[in-house]
């Protein structure tokens, strides 16, 4: 099985592959194999509102507050002492191949070394480029462009432990020409999803668009996953008003008695005047 990991960059950038963060302290603090965060370009790490995991110890479910047009990345931190691979699907589409994902071990996946993390910022269209994720309406989403709304608004991650350590670890381009992402893409994965020309009524659902192209170096590595996923994470992102209506976020507001911005700085007339 071929996976992908980042190539070291010569300078710090905002791309997922530029820096692999060491997270040694997180290993002892977290029972989960991985920690998953959604990182907004504008707001930083977004809060997760935990949801019922439906009785499964290996499943983690949360809600995320999405804002239309906001660019974001998916940060995954490996808390274990071994290499792992993650299948990442946004709106039901594998973010490397662009094809419909079922979170299986035979899909394209990213490989993370022990106690390291990476942030995946877009749909991979070539070995060294991705097109950015951004929150949008379903009609403007990447999945929507293929007529697929079966998993709209869901970021899903399946974690696979390594069955054995393959050798050699790094496959050179000349040794594995078919491993290049551009050679085995799903249908249309390298083409930008067209924006809807007709104005769409704002939907309660949110989707992820196919944004601008940006550099994202990677290398191909060999990885043999165990037969089944060790852990699954599901993040359902919604517009804030939808989360308020569902009671996920407490959106009730009351005026602060000592912080009134509406008086203009002057004493108000007394009642009846």
User: Mean of the pLDDT values across residues 70-95?
Assistant: 97
Residue 75 confidence (pLDDT) = 98
Domain enclosing residue 139, as ranges = 2-246
Q: What is the pTM of this model?
A: 0.71
Maximum Cα–Cα distance across the chain: 87
Q: Look at residue 18 and tell me if it is in a domain.
A: yes
User: Mean of the pLDDT values across residues 110-135?
Assistant: 96
Q: Look at residue 216 and tell me if it is in a domain.
A: yes
Q: Look at residue 132 and tell me if it is in a domain.
A: yes
Is 71 a residue whose pLDDT tops 90? yes
Closest CA to 127 of 17, 202, 45, 269: 17
Taking a C-beta distance cutoff of 8 angstroms, is the pair 137, 33 a contact?
A: no
Is 266 a residue whose pLDDT tops 80? no
Q: Look at residue 255 and tell me if it is in a domain.
A: no
Residue 139 confidence (pLDDT) = 94
Q: Look at residue 259 and tell me if it is in a domain.
A: no
Gap between the terminal Cα atoms of the chain: 79
**Residue 208 is encoded by which pair of tokens?**
């992820």
Tell me: the pLDDT tens digits for 149-162? 999 999 999 999 99
Q: What total number of domains does the chain contain? A: 1
Instruction: Report DSSP state, residue 96.
Output: T
User: Mean of the pLDDT values across residues 63-87?
Assistant: 97
Least reliable range by pLDDT among 22-31, 79-88, 152-161 = 22-31
Residue 257 confidence (pLDDT) = 62
């Amino acid at each position: 099985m071929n996976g992908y990991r980042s190539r070291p960059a010569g300078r710090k950038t905002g791309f997922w592959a530029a820096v692999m963060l060491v997270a040694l302290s997180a290993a002892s603090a977290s029972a989960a194999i991985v920690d998953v965060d959604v990182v907004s370009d504008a707001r930083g790490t977004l809060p997760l509102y935990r949801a019922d995991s439906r009785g499964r110890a290996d499943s983690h479910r949360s809600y995320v507050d999405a804002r239309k047009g906001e660019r974001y990345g998916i940060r995954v931190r490996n808390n274990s002492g071994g290499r792992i691979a993650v299948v990442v699907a946004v709106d039901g589409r594998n973010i490397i191949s662009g094809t419909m994902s079922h979170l299986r071990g035979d899909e394209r996946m990213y490989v993370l070394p022990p106690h390291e993390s990476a942030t995946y910022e877009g749909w991979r269209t070539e070995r060294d480029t991705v097109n950015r994720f951004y929150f949008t309406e379903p009609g403007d989403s990447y999945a929507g462009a293929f007529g697929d709304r079966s998993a709209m608004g869901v970021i899903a991650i399946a974690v696979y432990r390594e069955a054995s350590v393959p050798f050699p670890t790094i496959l050179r381009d000349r040794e594995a020409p078919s491993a290049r992402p551009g050679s085995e893409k799903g249908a249309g994965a390298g083409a930008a999803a067209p924006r809807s020309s007709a104005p769409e009524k704002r939907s309660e659902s949110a989707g992820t668009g196919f944004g601008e192209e940006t550099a994202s170096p990677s290398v191909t590595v060999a990885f043999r996953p165990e037969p089944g996923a060790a852990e699954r994470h599901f993040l359902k992102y919604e517009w804030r008003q939808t989360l308020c209506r569902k009671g996920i976020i407490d959106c009730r507001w009351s005026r602060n008695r000592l912080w009134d911005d509406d008086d203009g700085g002057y004493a108000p007339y007394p009642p009846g005047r």
